[in-house]
Amino acid sequence: MTAGRELRDAAQAPGPWTTVYTDGTSDEPQVVAEAREERTLRGVAAAGAPDADVEAIREVLRDRTGAPDPTTLFLLVRDGSIVIREAIAGPRRGPEVFAYGSLPQLVPLIRHRGTMLRYLIVETARDGADVRLETAGQRGVEAAESVEGRTDSLPKVQAGGWSQPRWQRHSEEIWKHTQSEVAEVVERLTRQASPAFIALSGDVRARQLLRDQLSPDSSALVVEVDANTRADGADDAALTDAIETALDRVIAEETAGAIDASHAEGGRLRAEGVEAVVAALQQAQVAQLFLDARLIPGPTEDSAATLCVLDAEPWVASESGTFAAAHEIARVPVAEALARAAVLTDAQIRIIEDEPEADDAAREAREPRPPFALLRW
């Protein structure tokens, strides 16, 4: 995940900041929602946030969406104003955060954004298609277009007769023309949005005709779903499962590729361990920073390992000291310090999740793996 401008601005702007990372709104009963909101506000106040920040957070919490699925809310607040507000579809990926201090806590949001990939959904049929651009973890649709084909074709299955082959050819040409129009929409959105993949479902013959019309680059992105989800009353479960599987695959492949690249040339482009990564970040040398999810402290954990955060380049240091144009702001846990420096030097950040191989498998007992980085040079 590469940080956006708003994260870079927040990382560099002077505090104090209030950070909230908690469960978002859902279709829960009002009494449950109100109890959760009050618990959040008590947590923020206990962290030392000023009244103006608490009131700004209260207004956000009252804005209930009624969303049916678990959601997550991330807020950065300064001087009573909401600077970043992000509602994320899905459950939290780590412990709740209610914090007030000189620096914002960015890792919880970075952790989510690393999985928020764009993708296209194409549900096609012989008489047209629906095309949507979506982002994982975000509700709603970024872009949507429909293609309505001609309806003067006949089904291929007929009673027979001398005109049957002619009608078959006529129908096939109309279907092919319709899928050509669908392909134009898919190609345009693919050029504009660079989706991670294209989930293709619908009528079998329509899918075949559409794939024949796509460019090799777009065709290589297609994840085909063997379900006619455009039919009336169709179940979307197969499409949903295929999208989730494709998201996991793309993230795993990208991470594996970056790790392999860091080992190339005898590891010349790899920095491993806190000291080596800090030195690389000080030179703006890091292309991708890798952080074990276990480096992120839990709600009751005091992180013994901290780094010095600076208000100017080189942004991070292992020890307090004298820097040409920088002053120490605070000492913070390793994951936050490294992530902030990566944000400020335009490095990508990947949180390596600690997922068990099976849903019922026990979590491996181990220490956090040291951070490492793929270097630019």
Sorted by where each begins, the domain ranges of the chain are 17-101, 118-250
Under DSSP, the state recorded for 132 is E
Task: Map tokens 């490492």 to a residue.
Answer: 372
pLDDT tens sequence across 102-114: 999 999 999 999 9
**Each residue of 66-85: pLDDT tens digit?**
566 788 999 999 999 999 99
Domain 118-250 has CATH 3.30.420.60: yes
Q: Tell me the pLDDT tens digit for each residue of 326-369.
A: 999 999 999 999 999 999 999 999 999 876 555 566 667 788 89
> pLDDT value at position 235?
73
pLDDT in tens, 312-325: 999 999 987 777 78
CA pair distance 373, 267, nearest whole angstrom: 11
Residue recorded with tokens 């292992």: 318
How many angstroms separate the CA atoms of 269 and 375, rounded? 5
CA–CA dist 27, 35 (Å, integer): 14
Predicted pLDDT of residue 351:
95
% of the chain at pLDDT higher than 90: 68
Residue 363 pLDDT:
67
Percent of the chain at pLDDT exceeding 70: 88
Tokens of 295: 């480096």
Closest CA to 312 of 277, 347, 278, 282: 282
Confidence (pLDDT) at 297? 78
Tell whether the model's pLDDT for residue 154 goes beyond 50: no
Average pLDDT, the chain: 88
pLDDT tier, 139 (very low <50, low <70, confident <90, very high otherwise): confident
Find the range with the poorest average confidence among 13-27, 165-179, 261-275. 165-179
Per-position DSSP letters for 109-123, written without gaps between them? HHHHHTT--EEEEEE
Cβ contact 18:49 at 8 Å: yes
| pLDDT for 144 | 96
Q: How far, in Å, CA of 162 to CA of 212, rounded?
A: 30
- pLDDT of 282 strictly over 80: yes
**CB within 8 A of 103, min separation 6: which ones?**
11, 15, 17, 309, 329, 330, 332, 336, 340
Contact 244/115 with Cβ under 8 angstroms? no
